[in-house]
Amino acid sequence: MKEKVTPHLQRKIRDGSAAVALQFRLQNVPGGNIAPNDPLGEESLYSPIKGIVHKYQNRVLWKTTYRCAAHCQFCTRSRQIGSAEGDLDDADIAAGLCYIRSHPEIDDVILSGGDPLFVPQTVTRILSGLRDIPSIQVVRIGTRLPIHSPKSIGSPPVKRLLKALQACGESFQTYILVHVNHPDEIDYDVTDAIRTIRAYGFPVLSQTVFLKNVNDEEEVLEGLFKKLYYLGIVPYYIYRCDRVAGLERFVCDIGREREIMTALHKRMSGIALPSYIVDVEGTGKIPVPLDFWDVPDLGHCRDYNGIVIRL
Ligand SMILES: *Cc1c(COP(=O)(O)O)cnc(C)c1O
Ligand code: SF4
């Protein structure tokens, strides 16, 4: 994955944010900066057609593109990010819609990527199909654009997309899921972008990844979750960094992550605290137990089928 940094993030790096630099600057790591594998089996196990990942019975993840406004160096999908290969043409969109229509157990579609707000035309086309599928009750948009380039939220194509989403209100509920990892990422411009999104009436939730030397400190995460909570964003998930080849430098010690989340649980409102999750190769997301009960071994967990997964 190449380095790609927006002027907004560049300014933050210039202003001295080590947390932003570590996330976006290409680092010279021996054997690093390659990410050939598919750690969650998205393509190999769960993709019935291009772009669609159907892993949980009632929910699909739809990768609308592999492109983003900036490239996060720890991205689970590093092997794909930046490539035009993930772009969807009309036939791909029609095939995705057809798949969803023929699986009425699906009520929830997560538009992901890449960044869906980076390809507003594709997403608009997907939406106009989804609104005619009666089983669909929820559409979520997972984005990092408000962090990468907050001013883009006010650009005409994104505004048109948000309006189109609003117009789908009778067909399904929309949630916006922003990916944010450090309090440095939330400044005046980002706050403004979030307020713009909220003004359309969409609930906003956040997702965070535990990243070594970026946010693996109690005070940093407390600051982040409080900032989000104050802004009307509900912290949803904090993920353990996926084991992507070449990106091991970002993976924190699981014991330390658990210590931090346990400490935060003791002093923060449940509303401001995300679920702490490990996404395993097996069947899906698994909550990591906090340190209130005796847990014999953090080296493995069991997936949804009871199969032991080594962490
Ligand atoms: C995370 C994820 C979802 C959504 O899971 P929720 O717990 O409902 O947020 C759906 N599909 C895939 C493939 C995922 O990775
Ligand atoms: S915004 Fe998301 S998909 Fe894009 S590079 Fe960052 S983590 Fe990956």
Q: How far apart are CA 165 and CA 145, in angstroms?
A: 17
Rounded mean pLDDT, 231-246: 91
Q: How far apart are CA 293 and CA 182, in angstroms?
A: 29
Query: Closest Cα to atom 7, ligand 2: which residue?
Result: 75
**Among positive and negative, which fits the CA dihedral 70, 76, 79, 84?**
negative
**Which tokens belong to 6?**
């927006």
The answer, yes or no, to whether any atom of ligand 2 lies below 6 A from the CB of 120, is no
The answer, yes or no, to whether any atom of ligand 1 lies below 6 A from the CB of 205, is no
Would the pLDDT of 241 be above 60?
yes
Q: How many CB atoms lie within 10 A of CB 52?
A: 22
Q: Which CATH superfamily is domain 7-310 in?
A: Aldolase class I (3.20.20.70)
Note the pLDDT of residue 33.
52
Indicate the pLDDT class of residue 248, thresholds 50, 70 and 90.
confident
Amino acid (one-letter) located at 247: L
pLDDT digits (tens, 9 = 90+) for 32-71: 555 556 767 777 788 999 999 999 999 999 999 999 999 9
| Residue carrying the six token digits 């992550």 | 257
Would the pLDDT of 30 be above 70?
no
Q: How far apart are CA 284 and CA 306, in angstroms?
A: 12
**Please, what is the average pLDDT of the chain?**
93
The answer, yes or no, to whether any atom of ligand 2 lies below 6 A from the CB of 241, is no
Would the pLDDT of 31 be above 70?
no
DSSP state, 45? T
Query: Closest Cα to atom 1, ligand 2: which residue?
Result: 144
DSSP string, 68-95: -SS--TT-TTTTTTT-GGG---HHHHHH
Note the pLDDT of residue 88.
97
pLDDT digits (tens, 9 = 90+) for 168-185: 999 999 999 999 999 999
Q: How far apart are CA 286 and CA 275, in angstroms?
A: 10
Q: How far apart are CA 92 and CA 96, in angstroms?
A: 6
Rounded mean pLDDT, 284-305: 88
Rounded mean pLDDT, 150-163: 97
- Between CA 145 and CA 286, with CA 207 as vertex, the angle to 5 degrees is 145
The answer, yes or no, to whether any atom of ligand 2 lies below 6 A from the CB of 77, is yes
The answer, yes or no, to whether any atom of ligand 1 lies below 6 A from the CB of 138, is no
* Ligand showing the shortest atom-to-Cα distance for residue 35: 2
156-167 vs 120-130: helix crossing angle, rounded to 10: 10
Burial-class residue 245 by CB neighbours within 10 Å (0-12, 13-18, 19+): middle
Higher-pLDDT residue of 181, 1: 181
Which residue, 279, 246, 290, 276, is CA-closest to 56? Answer: 279
Q: How far apart are CA 45 and CA 280, in angstroms?
A: 13
Question: How do 52-56 and 108-112 pair as beta strands?
Answer: unpaired
**Helix, strand or coil for residue 42?**
coil
Longest CA pairwise span in the chain (Å) = 54
Distance 127 CA to ligand 1 centre (A): 19
Give the start-to-end residue ranges of the domains of the chain.
7-310
**Helix, strand or coil for residue 275?**
strand
The end-to-end CA distance of the chain, in Å, is 25
Distance 35 CA to ligand 1 centre (A): 22
Would the pLDDT of 112 be above 80?
yes
